[in-house]
Amino acid sequence: MSQRVIYITEFDMDRLLALIEGMRSNNTKPKANLDLLERELYRAKLVEPQDVPHDVITMNSKVCIKDMQSGEKTTYCVVFPSDANITKNKLSVLAPMGMALLGYRKGDIIEWKVPSGAKKIKVEEIVYQPEASGDFHL
């Protein structure tokens, strides 16, 4: 089974690669998490901000997801670690779910490993995407 195509803007790619390198040099995040994000970035299709499809989750996108096991819906904003605040549903791109969401589209079902097994969610709606709103440098 082939992997789904994920999309990322060059602007997000550059900032995320710089974040990964900075965290590696500071040894502040488990290497495996950084390696996983880096692999996801390098397999992504690179697009210009104005050309990113409007239903793709980019950095600073606000997205409604559905837990496929519980049926519960939650809205998160995928942000850089410095802006993360889970009580305000601001999810770090370095969190497992943040990494899992980045680059996927409305309607996609995403599965990833968690300590208790596997987690499966569906992207229900892109509530806000910076690029779709003309906010190309968020």
Please report the DSSP string for 30-72 in residue order: -HHHHHHHHHHHHHSEEE-GGGS-TTB--TT-EEEEEETTT--
Domain span holding position 14: 7-133
Rounded to two decimals, the pTM is: 0.86
Asked if pLDDT for residue 137 goes beyond 80, the answer is no
Closest C-alpha to 119, from 61, 82, 77, 66? 66
Indicate the SS3 state at residue 90: strand
Whether residue 2 lies inside any domain: the answer is no
Query: CA-CA distance, 129 to 59, in Å (whole number)?
Result: 8
Residue 138 in domain: no
pLDDT (tens digit per residue) in 49-79: 889 899 999 999 999 999 999 999 999 999 9
pLDDT for position 2 = 46
> Per the structure, how many domains does the chain have?
1
The answer to whether residue 85 scores a pLDDT higher than 80 is yes
CATH number, position 30: 3.10.50.30
Which residue in this structure is represented by tokens 């290497």?
31
Average pLDDT (25-49) is 84
Domain assignment present for residue 1? The answer is no
More confident call, 29 vs 36: 36
Position 1 scores a pLDDT of 34
